[in-house]
Structure 1
Amino acid sequence: MSRVVGRIGARGIAELLGTWNSGRATSTGLHQAVRRLVLDGRLPPGTRLPAEREFAEAIGVSRTLVVRALDLLREEGFAASRQGSGSWVRLPGDRANTDPGGWQPATPDLINLAQATLPAPPELTEALDRARCRFPEHLCGHGYQAFGLPELRERIAESHTRRGLPTSPQQILVTNGAQHGFALVLRALVSPGERVLVEHPTYPNPLQAIRGVGADAVAVPMLAQGWDLDLMAATLQQAMPKLAYLIPDFQNPTGIRMTAQDRERLVAVLRRTRTTAVVDETLIDLDLTGGTPPPPVAAFGEDRVITIGSAGKSFWGGLRLGWVRASEDLVQRLLLDRAAVDLGSPVLEQLLLAELLADPEPVLRRRRAHVAELREALIAELAEQLPTWTFRVPDGGLALWCDLGVPVSSRLAVAAEQHGLRLVPGSRFAVRGTMERYLRLPYTLPVEQQREAVRRLALAAAGFDGAPDPCPWDMAIS
């Protein structure tokens, strides 16, 4: 049985369904609409559905129609019910389907390609030994470090300065990951009903954070070669978003990096439209080109740019630390808002990260070399097993953004579960459930495991004819 992870109200399900019954309302139409929401990732497995009568009233149909639609969903494995507990969402397959985002660890019979994360480097253990030796000196104090340990703030500031963005420790707020930092910025600067501009496609978790503060995401499509800054400027002028969220360094999921010239143009657009951008630098250390990187976006205009970063991709996802780089005034404001959420980050982990940042380049250099090998191994395996899939070889980051040729990504993700392979469909990276032609494939597993993953993926892809579903998942949703 799926673990119940949340509840959606009758009003919420009605808003998600939108104009699902553009013709005559039928149980089949409702069942297909709910199934689409599940496969798009907007109704996560484990979500409890409204009671049948409330459900029916919210969408203006009979209770009998809702009951029949739920029966169809249960028959296909997209819903489950228990007497006295109601109905909840699930995905067809085994126990792994309780978590579509891929946050469960891989088991011997499951390969997880839903997460683009690497295991910890061996140097982390040595840094932990050094941090442990320094830990007792902090035990005589209260242990709360709302801004972050001074030593860690200094080293994060130094890393920005080395990259061409002079930064003082007072401009750094240590957070529990970049996502936490973005959530704090949203909480401080965005009110319910306001808009936040995002790239399309984009990383799913910030989309959830935007929805969490009651804001609306406004999408600007990415081009094959990068950002359409003219379209972005027009969107900023017309939609007047309160904030923009951008990933200019190895954009997740496309892997594209913004040029120095476009960074300068971007900041000019931000100034002209009086928009503040949150620039996510989570993947900045994973540059696989070996060339000279462009300056940070904030170097062209820090008055319009808030920078967030993380140790998760560079060092280890279990090191739940990140940071916000902003003006001193905004850092103070974020600190006041943070008190409603938490009181600071763990001291031992901060000492550990400070040790890693004391001389990070040897660790990162080996990290990049390893990631480059994994990338080439995945590319070679795809060329052999799935030669019709196309992708742009990314300059950095941790994943390929594959064009499947037809809009079947969600169906493929469901089919892959039956072969012991977890995927995230392309629709998870879209604002409103499109991107069904695409699939993100991380190159973060050992080479042998990657080879087996692609073998299973090819088996799953061969299990259906590759034609789009009669009710395609990538249809426009108003």
Structure 2
Amino acid sequence: MNIVSARALDLMLDSWRASGSTPAYEALADRIRLLILDGRIALGVRLPAERDLAAQLGVSRTTVAAAYAELRDRDYLTSVRGSGSIARQPHGVAAPNEAPSSGILDFSKASLPALQQLADAAATAVEQLPAYLGGTGFDPVGLPVLRQALADRYTSRGLPTSPDQIMVTIGAQHAIALLARTLLGRGDRALVEAPSYPHAIDALKAAGARLVPVSVTTHDGWDEEALEQAFQRTSPSLGYLMPDFHNPTGRSMSAALREKTLALAARQGTTLIADETIGELGMDDVEPVLPFAAYGAVDTQAILVGSVGKTVWGGVRVGWIRAERSVIQRLIRERASGDLGTPALEQLIVTNLLGDYDSVLETRRRQLRAGRHTLARLLAEKIPEWEMPHVAGGLTAWVNLGAPVSSQLTLAARNEGLQIAAGPRFGIDGAFERFLRIPFSYSESDTERAVDALAVAWRNVGRHSIADTGWLAEVV
């Protein structure tokens, strides 16, 4: 059974302490409940003993015992003799990766509804499928026709690529996890952005990496000095970056910074993974950039990860890895321990859509421009004290709340029928309490409903005195 230590839980609980009239045990219970709801404490994990957590937090054992009792009463913990207190979720409450219960609007996922052309592409794929039924169906690299189409697209975008540099995966997350367990050894350092995509952080941790964070902010982008120092002082084995419309801040690296980052990685022997899942979802008229790997020398190119989950539909589980041939061969050998290939029918669907992918992207850009405008308008009308930065692309806004209350706000929003991820979900061991990631990829009616729920939740949180410690000043 997995166990979260008192020290690890203390880091995740940062700034949990109650203010105003809220009893300490209630504040502690609420914060642990949020950690369970958004997946930072996995279901089935054992929490630290009451005595150990009390000593770590500097509170009485009675406070911790009362918090645990509150969580048990609400079915977020179960106690098993000899096994301690185990995280669970009440019946009818969605687990972090499950659909929310009826009536809950789920804004925890930055995604678009299915592409209108998807059904036609699927119908064509069904007609094409018989030509592939003579084989076993087990293929660790992907259908040649799709690999060729992906290689051609990279080449047309300015990065010459051959099909043997492509591996088709079961989405981008599968690609990231496969790369992490293939390229990392336990205890290796891995450079990551802070904030970052939480499931990538989870994959790197699962592979045993020691994370080296580098700050990215909505106003200044990447901390270039910290980035350089991270390479020079830690010589990370691996780096995971989102250089285009970074999730969640929306920032993009300049061409000069891309070149500098690849050069730094080459000098330190660091393998870089560039997640370009939303790299072609730019909304403003900006100078197009090349794929990240094109900014490095041929022998220092980064590994690229992409998928159609953000452009076509999350239900089409097809992604890919673009890497040097030697890396692809290593991935083939490692992949069989986790899965035996990507479904052929879905690969054919994606192949058909890639034939007119520029049209697909333009459709999505129009939808996202409208969604960005709607969210900005509604926040300005209903919660004007929040700061929504202008983002040139992607699907989300990293909104500054002006106070370190993201976790409290998330809990309050759930009571108003909205499920949304708190800012610390995108950090390492708790951070970013001043921020909330809000997708603008939903319909106008859903976005209005979400902002209404956030406005009510914000008023409810504001009824209590909130201590502003300033501990996140460096990312404001």
- TM > 0.5 fold call: yes
Partner of 2:110: 116
1: CA distance between counterparts of 2:417 and 2:10? 34
Q: Deviations over 1:214-256 (max 9, x none)?
A: 1111111114221122220111111221111000010000011
Q: Contact between 2:154 and 2:161, CA under 8 Å: does it hold in 1?
A: yes
Query: Is 1:13 aligned with 2:5?
Result: yes
2: CA distance between counterparts of 1:394 and 1:107? 31
The residue type paired with residue 16 of structure 1 is A
Partner of 1:271: 266
2: CA distance between counterparts of 1:144 and 1:94? 38
Partner of 2:68: 73
Query: Is 1:454 aligned with 2:451?
Result: yes
Query: Is 1:355 aligned with 2:352?
Result: yes
Query: Is 1:379 aligned with 2:373?
Result: no
RMSD: 3.0
After superposition, residues 459-470 of structure 1 pair within 5 angstroms as 459-465=456-462
Compute the displacement of 1:271 (Å). Answer: 2.0
Query: Is 1:151 aligned with 2:145?
Result: yes
After superposition, residues 147-226 of structure 1 pair within 5 angstroms as 147-223=141-217, 224-226=219-221
CA 1:466–1:59 in structure 2 vs 1: closer, same or farther (change >3 Å)? closer
Partner of 2:365: 368
CA 1:115–1:57 in structure 2 vs 1: closer, same or farther (change >3 Å)? closer
Partner of 1:286: 281
Partner of 2:439: 442
Query: Is 1:429 aligned with 2:420?
Result: no
CA 1:395–1:285 in structure 2 vs 1: closer, same or farther (change >3 Å)? same
SS of residue paired to 1:47 = coil
CA 1:442–1:191 in structure 2 vs 1: closer, same or farther (change >3 Å)? same
Partner of 1:295: 290
Partner of 2:86: 88
Compute the displacement of 1:131 (Å). Answer: 0.4
The residue type paired with residue 376 of structure 2 is I
2: CA distance between counterparts of 1:418 and 1:225? 35
SS of residue paired to 2:196 = coil
Identical columns (%): 36
Q: Contact between 2:403 and 2:468, CA under 8 Å: does it hold in 1?
A: no
* Gapped regions of structure 2 (runs ≥ 5): 14-22
The residue type paired with residue 188 of structure 1 is T
2:252 corresponds, among 246, 257, 261, to: 257
Aligned residue pairs total 455
Query: Is 1:326 aligned with 2:320?
Result: no
Partner of 2:16: none
Compute the displacement of 1:314 (Å). Answer: 1.2
Q: Contact between 1:426 and 1:440, CA under 8 Å: does it hold in 2?
A: yes
Compute the displacement of 1:82 (Å). Answer: 5.8
Compute the displacement of 1:105 (Å). Answer: 3.1
Comparing 287-296 with 360-369, greater Cα deviation is found at: 287-296
Partner of 2:409: 412
Q: Deviations over 1:90-139 (max 9, x none)?
A: 67x9833x42x4x3335652111110011111100010011000111111
Q: Contact between 2:284 and 2:393, CA under 8 Å: does it hold in 1?
A: yes
Comparing 428-437 with 104-113, greater Cα deviation is found at: 104-113
2: CA distance between counterparts of 1:389 and 1:195? 36
1: CA distance between counterparts of 2:406 and 2:470? 9
1: CA distance between counterparts of 2:344 and 2:470? 46
* Gapped regions of structure 1 (runs ≥ 5): 1-6, 22-27
CA 1:377–1:68 in structure 2 vs 1: closer, same or farther (change >3 Å)? closer
Comparing 12-21 with 336-345, greater Cα deviation is found at: 12-21
Q: Contact between 1:8 and 1:50, CA under 8 Å: does it hold in 2?
A: no
Q: TM-score, normalised by structure 1?
A: 0.87
CA 1:245–1:206 in structure 2 vs 1: closer, same or farther (change >3 Å)? same
SS of residue paired to 1:199 = strand
Q: Contact between 1:17 and 1:34, CA under 8 Å: does it hold in 2?
A: no
Partner of 2:307: 310
1: CA distance between counterparts of 2:179 and 2:286? 32
Compute the displacement of 1:140 (Å). Answer: 1.6
